[in-house]
Structure 1
Amino acid sequence: MGQIEKQAGVRFFQPRRLGHVNLFVSSYERAAEFYQDIVGLEEVYRQPDNRASFVSNGNTYHDLGLTDVSSHYAQKNQQPGLNHIAFEVENEVDLVKGYNQAVGAGVKFMSTQDHDVAHSLYKLDPEGNAVEVYADVVEDWRTARHGVFEKVKPEWIPGVTNEPLSERLYPNNPPIHVVPSSVFRARRVTHAGFVADDYENLYDYYTELIGLTPYVGDRGSEYCVLRGTVSTEGLSLFRRPAGTPQGMHHVGIEVKDESELDRALKKMAENGIALEREVNHPARRTVCILDPDGIRLQFYVNRQWDPSQLKGIDLQEALYLL
C-alpha cells in the first residue's frame, strides 16, 4: 500500500463477501454461451453498448461480468483476464462512511459509479488489480436489470447525490436457478485467487484498507484465505512461485455436491473439455478447467473446510485448492 494508506491504519470497509468477478474476454457473445452452456450460469442481462454480458443464477445481480476486450471500458490492446473483483458491504450508509473516512485519510479512488442496482467505488490494488466495493440499493434487481438494455449511467457522488440508504438490500437467501443441460451446474462465484509479487503489501491492502480478515494464513505465510463477515472465503493470496505469472490465478465457483463434480467430469469428456487439474484434499475437492480465453475456473465442493485442515499445504497444490 501507499504510505498514506498504510499510515491510516483503519479498516475503512467491512465486506460481507465477494459479490462478483468481472472478466475481459475476447468475444462477449462466445463467452456468454460458454458460461451458460458449460459453467451453468444464466445470462441475466446484456449491454450491447458496453459489449458485455452478465451471468448469474440468482446469487446476486451478476456473479460474472463478461466484457469484450473491444469495449470502451477496455484499455488499448486489452488482453483477456481480470477486469475487477467486487466486495459487497451491508448497506450504502456503511459504503459512504468508509469512503469518507478513506478520502479523509488521503486514499484516492479511481471512480465512483451509479449502477442503478448498486452504488460502487473503484480502486487499484498495489499490483494493479481493480477492486470494487459496493452496496446494493435496489432490493429486486431482476426488475431493474434483465434482457437487453442500454443506458447512460448518471453521476454518483457518495453522500451528496442522495441520502445514503440504511436498508440491507442485498439478496437474502435467493432462489438459485439451475441450467439443467450445462456441463457444470454452478451455484455461485465465491472467491478469486491472486498470485502476488509483493505478498505482504497485497495482504496489508486487503486486510487494512478493504477490510477482509484472514480465515487461514497471515502476513508471513506462503498463502492465505481472506474472508468477509458472512463468508469463509473471498480472496486467496499466494506468494508467487517461480514461473507462475503475477495476477489473477483463478475464479472459484461452488457447486452443490460431489455428485455434481462427478457428473461434470463425465460431461466434460463427452464435450471434449480438457481437465487442467483435479485436487482431492480433506478440506475441499476441486476441478479446474480453462475457459476459451485461458482464464482458469476452479469448481469445488467443500469437505472439512476448516483452518486446521488448510495449514501446511504445498504451495503448488494450494494454488489449485484454495
Structure 2
Amino acid sequence: MSAYQIHPDAHMGRVQLKVSQIERSIRFYRETIGLTLLSQTSTTAEFGVSGSGVLLGLEEVEQAIVLPQQSVTGLYHFAILLPDRVSLGTTLRHLAASGLGIGQGDHAVSEAFYLNDPDGNGIEIYADRPRSEWQKDAKGEYVMGSDPVDVQSLLQLAGPWNGLPAGTVIGHVHLHVGNLPAARAFYVDGLGFDVVLHFGGGALFVSAGGYHHHMGLNTWAGVGAPAAPANAVGLRYFTIEYPDAAELGAAVSALRAAGIEVTDTPEGPSALDPFGNRAMLRVS
C-alpha cells in the first residue's frame, strides 16, 4: 500500500464527454443547463462559466451508440457544484420549466438534483451545506442519506435566470466500476484519495482535504461489468487538478510506484483505472 496521500487542495476539473450529435448537445448544455459556450468546432465544444476555465468538453463520435443505463463501467454522473443555495433554487426553477424528468436527494451534506443529457449521460447539480453542519458516524465516515429536498424553500430563493453563476465548478465525478477492491487500489492506494464513506455494500466515496466526496465508485452496473466500447457515448476522461507542478509530479510518481501505467498526453499525464475510466492529471 502506498504511503502517498493526495494534496488536500486537489479537486476535480474538466470532464470530457462523448456525444452522438454535437449541435443537440451544445443546445442542451447552453440552454437547459446554463453553461457558457467557450469554443466549438464541427465536432467539439467547450463550456465553462464566467471567470472559469473549461469545465466540460464535448466531442461527437462517429457511429455513436447509446448503451442501456447501468450496463457497463464508466460515467454514473458528473456533478456541477453551485456556489450557494440561492443559485440552486434559481437553477431548479429554470430546470423545472424545461419539462425534463428531474431526480432529487437531500444528502445531509448537500442538496442535489439529477437529470440526463440527450445521450443519457448523468448530471448532478448541487449545492453544499456548510462544512460545519456535516456529521460523521462512530467510524469517522460522513453521514449521508437521500431524503426529499425542501423544494419549496429553494424555489422561494430563486432569482432571475442568467445561466450558471461565476463560482460554479465540477464538484465530483461518480463512476460505475467493476469491483470495489480494484477501484480502491487505484483511487486510494494509487491516487491517494481518502476513504470518507462506504455507501451500502456497493459504493465507496473518496476525497481530498476532508471533502464529502470528489469521487464516487459504485458497482451498481454489476460486479464484473464490462467496459464500454470506444464508440459508446459517455465519459472520455475526468480531470484531477493539483495546486502546483511539484504535487502533480508526486501524484505521477505515486501511481507509477503502485504499478499503474501513466501516459504523457498533450493534456497532461493520464492513467486508466482497471475498468477503462481515464483520469487526466494537471495543475490548476
Q: What is the TM-score normalised by the length of structure 1?
A: 0.42
If asked which structure has higher relative contact order (CA below 8 Å, sep 6+), I would say 2
Q: What is the TM-score normalised by the length of structure 2?
A: 0.47
